[in-house]
Chains A and B, each alone.
Chain A
Amino acid sequence: SQQGEEDPQALSIQEGENATMNCSYKTSINNLQWYRQNSGRGLVHLILIRSNEREKHSGRLRVTLDTSKKSSSLLITASRAADTASYFCASVPLIQGAQKLVFGQGTRLTINP
């Protein structure tokens, strides 16, 4: 399978706590993206980090990228019940002309009120 791996597969925390999800990928990348998917719905883009970037912020989201370890992490601070969803990392391979996203298996996040 081309898919990367995400850790943990499931995470349950209390509202207000921080949630951290990790992702590993297999090949050199152009960029890495994080998406959110509510149950049974399409995916929503959260953030994109380029291979020459190490950290990026967007609101309550913080993404890090370590290309030497082929890994990324997504931190959601001050979690809310509405953050309950599955979160996927997706890498774009560093291959000429490559446009596809290679997704991880996802982390299912549950925020308990």
Chain B
Amino acid sequence: DTGVSQDPRHKITKRGQNVTFRCDPISEHNRLYWYRQTLGQGPEFLTYFQNEAQLEKSRLLSDRFSAERPKGSFSTLEIQRTEQGDSAMYLCASSSGGTPGGTQYFGPGTRLLVL
């Protein structure tokens, strides 16, 4: 079990640029989640996939945000035209079926800083 991995771990970008993050879940997990965490706060849900289907999106996920999970394996989260308010830690988690929400295994996160 190699755990959930995320890449990159850190990203610094200028306002207006596009960024893409990758998440590789635990291989046998069919559910994948993205959360965003700002300093001193708890994570906030962004979106959720079951296999390749995106089943829930938070209203926090504006039109500038898009997430994909082709073939139900890894996932990408893209932010277009970044704004300073997008600066945060982006966390990915995965879980297997069963209990709603389940035990979610989190990756180390990608810390984004928009200048």
Contact = CB atoms under 8 A, between A and B. Distances in A.
Contacts of A99: 31, 33, 48, 50, 55-56, 95, 100-102
B7 to A, nearest CB: 13
A98 B108 contact: no
Contacts of A57: none
B101 A105 contact: no
Interface in A25-49: 30-31, 33, 35, 40-45, 48
A31 B43 contact: no
Interface string B13-55: 0000000000000000001010100001111110010100001
B104 interface: yes
A106 B91 CA distance: 16
Given A99-B48, A99-B55, A100-B56, A33 B101 contact: yes
A70 B106 CA distance: 26
B106 A44 contact: yes
A42 B55 contact: no
B55 A30 contact: no
Interface in A52-102: 88, 90, 92, 97-102
Nearest to A47: B103
Interface string A3-43: 10000000000000000000000000011010100001111
A3 B38 CA distance: 13
A42 B109 CA distance: 6
The 8 closest A-B pairs by CB, nearest first: A103-B42, A92-B101, A42-B106, A100-B45, A43-B106, A30-B100, A42-B108, A45-B103
Contact of A104 (B35, B42, B50, B95): B42
A47 to B, nearest CB: 9
B96 to A, nearest CB: 12
Nearest to B4: A42
Nearest to A48: B103
Contacts of A33: 101, 103-104
